[in-house]
Amino acid sequence: MDIINWISQPWHWAIGGLAIAALSISMTLMGQKFGVSSSFKVLCTWAGAGKRIPYFRIDTKGERWRMLFVAGGVLGGVISAHLLRSPEPV
């Protein structure tokens, strides 16, 4: 079976739930918070908001992994939209 055909098939809902649970548990064990909402704070800091608003004056070196995670999510969405599209309704 071709990997693209296997990935593009509908998956059982429990597989997604297990993946999210495994990610959440592993992030908790590593002492990190799992979420992308704080990436907006980093984006605002990188855009220069810290020059005017003290809330955005943060050290963003420890948040690079989160920005890579967000970029990977966006890239994965683009790839799946272009490479895994199917004319059949789901």
What is the full DSSP assignment across 4-63?
HHHHTSPPPHHHHHHHHHHHHHHHHHTT----STTHHHHHHHHHTGGGT-GGG----GGG
Question: Is this structure's pTM higher than 0.75?
Answer: no
User: The domain containing residue 51 runs over which residues?
Assistant: 10-83
Residue 74 lies in a domain: yes
Residue 90 lies in a domain: no
Strands (E) located in the chain: none
Write down the pLDDT at residue 61. Answer: 87
Residue 57 lies in a domain: yes
Please, are residues 59 and 25 in contact by the beta-carbon 8 Å criterion?
no
Write down the pLDDT at residue 90. Answer: 66
- Considering only CA atoms, give the Rg of the chain: 18
Residue 89 lies in a domain: no
Domain count, the chain: 1
Span 22-74, pLDDT tens digits: 988 998 898 877 778 888 888 899 999 989 999 989 888 888 888 898 999 99
Determine the residue type at 27. M
Write down the pLDDT at residue 26. Answer: 92
Averaged pLDDT, 68-86: 87
Residue 5 lies in a domain: no
Q: Which two tokens stand for residue 4?
A: 């693209």
Q: Which two tokens stand for residue 66?
A: 């989160």
Write down the pLDDT at residue 1. Answer: 62
| Least-confidence region, from 3-12, 17-26, 81-90 | 81-90
